[in-house]
Homo-oligomer: A and B are copies of this chain.
Amino acid sequence: MTETIKAYGTKAADADLKQIEIERRDLLKNDVKIDILYCGVCHSDIHAAKNDWGNAKYPLVPGHEIVGKVLEVGDAVKNYKKGDLVGVGCMVDSCKECSACEDDLEQFCEKGMTATYNSKDKHLNTTTFGGYSTSIVVREDFVLKVPENLDTKAVAPLLCAGITTFSPLNHWKIKKGDKVGIIGLGGLGHMGIKIASAMGAETFMITTSEGKASDAKKLGADAVIISKNDDEMNKHAGSFDFLLNTVPVKHDINPYLQLLKRDSTMVMVGAIEPLEPMNGANLIMGRKRVAGSLIGGIKETQEMLDFCGEHNIVSEIEMIDMKDINNAFERVTKNDVKYRFVIDMKSLKEA
């Protein structure tokens, strides 16, 4: 029924990750078994491990930016075969019947999607375990094809940071010549710059930090606006077609709303907490909009990977061994990473 494999997880909210053993279900007919090569380290992994959201089930094995090779497929699997290069993102299952699933938006499944970790596994009486592990078994519908032309290890963060930024840019139909601002330069923001640029937008990095200007330009930003500089902000007032706000903490969105053109939108993908008070007039004057966006559906995630393959886009990464994860968590918490840690899973297999 199950196979015992090696993983890295935590048994308590102290988030001290150690090597543990977990069970993976045996292959069902629609399942794909994946040998995990690389797994990205997302800030959510830390929140989950520390039970910041109050829903942690221990032992907890994080990891939802997974790239690997197909080891084996179930009898009914149609689209994958042994040896294929594949990815798994934030979801491993959903009802596939509700209106959200019918609209290819499994992240909003009305019955609740199954998250890659810390979710109820539909088949075993356990929680799901993430990609900080040697292998994973996933329903075919939630497995993505990874373009062969990209640097495989740097693809891993696309499965979360990539789709989280691609989806709003794609859904709000960013096109050549649009003036797009990416607010915040971190794991999400650096992907936002690359993707918006590849879509042909005139891409601005909007950051509080002057120190990030040169990096932003190297990543593809056409220009940088330092948001603490009122003159610069005023110069660009009412000029943006779209803003993608990746700031992951409480902040004041009012100065950004003033950058938007009439009838334009700022999409929030980072902050899931109460923001500083928004001034109603900043929406009313110019019929402006603020919206949210959550990762993306599986179909759109595949589109994102194909887009990245076509435009040669990967994440900027720093490779680590599995045993270095606790230090990596500390550095992510301090924003001391450019721009994503990726775990080389060979280091766990050989441990």
Contact = CB atoms under 8 A, between A and B. Distances in A.
A277 interface: yes
Interface in A265-291: 265, 268-291
Nearest to A262: B108
Contact of A291 (B272, B279, B288): B288
Interface residues of A, number: 33
B279 A290 contact: no
B280 A287 contact: no
A222 B274 CA distance: 33
B280 A277 contact: no
A108 B292 contact: no
A143 interface: no
Residue of A273, A275, A287 with most partner-chain B CB within 10 A: A287
A71 interface: no
A293 B287 contact: yes
A188 to B, nearest CB: 12
Interface in A88-133: 100, 105, 108
Given A283-B290, A284-B268, A275 B273 contact: no
A174 interface: no
A278 B272 CA distance: 10
B277 A283 contact: no
18 contacts: A105-B262, A108-B262, A108-B285, A268-B280, A269-B284, A272-B279, A274-B279, A275-B278, A275-B279, A275-B280, A278-B290, A283-B290, A283-B292, A284-B293, A286-B292, A287-B291, A287-B294, A290-B290
Interface of A: 100, 105, 108, 171, 262, 265, 268-294
A-B interface, 7 closest residue pairs, ranked by CB to CB distance from nearest:
A283-B292, A284-B292, A274-B277, A271-B280, A272-B281, A289-B291, A274-B279
